[in-house]
């Protein structure tokens, strides 16, 4: 066992003796499994790393900005500020639309879209 592992084990043991782990959430229960079936297998590790770091995909970040800008716009009474907010909202909405169009033009999506159209009789 390396020196670092020994130090870590010693600190964990000391914390257990002090009772530092006695009031943790989910104590004595298995951790809930994270459902990653919506994420392609080759992207799952990267997804988990980014999620744990608190990083959102650009599409979600833009969607959040769009919602915030709409709320600001409805609460704003100054014409000049409203104009500025509309420009920012328009730019964010355009970028979001472009990203969504790009994401839904992948070969996988086109195959899926074709199957949907077949089922619907189009």
Q: Is residue 53 part of a domain?
A: no
pLDDT reading at 86 higher than 70: yes
Tokens representing 107?
């070969």
The whole domain housing 89 covers: 59-122
pLDDT for residue 33 = 79
- Does the model's pTM come out above 0.75? no
Q: What is the dihedral of CA 50, 53, 57, 60, to 10 degrees?
A: 140
Residue 5 included in any domain? no
Residue 90 has pLDDT above 80, yes or no: yes
Angstrom distance (rounded) from CA 117 to CA 111: 10
- The total number of structural domains in the chain stands at 1
Cα–Cα dist 73/85, whole Å: 6
Q: Are 76 and 84 in contact (CB under 8 A)?
A: no
What confidence score (pLDDT) does residue 1 get? 66
Look at residue 67 and tell me if it is in a domain: yes
Query: Got the DSSP string for 22-65?
Result: TT-TTTTSPPPPP--TTS-GGGHHHHHHHHHTTPPPHHHHHHHH
Whether 97 maps to a domain, the answer reads yes
Query: Would you say residue 11 lies in a domain?
Result: no
């Amino acid at each position: 066992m390396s020196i670092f592992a020994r130090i870590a084990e010693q600190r964990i043991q000391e914390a257990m003796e002090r009772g530092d782990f006695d009031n943790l959430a989910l104590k004595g229960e298995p951790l809930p499994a994270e459902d990653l079936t919506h994420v392609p297998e080759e992207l799952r590790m990267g997804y988990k790393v980014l999620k744990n770091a608190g990083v959102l995909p650009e599409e979600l970040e833009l969607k959040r900005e769009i919602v915030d800008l709409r709320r600001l716009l409805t609460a704003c009474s100054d014409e000049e500020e409203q104009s500025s907010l509309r420009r920012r909202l328009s730019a964010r909405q355009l970028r979001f639309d472009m990203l969504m169009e790009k994401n839904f033009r992948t070969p996988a999506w086109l195959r899926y879209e074709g199957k949907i159209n077949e089922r619907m009789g189009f």
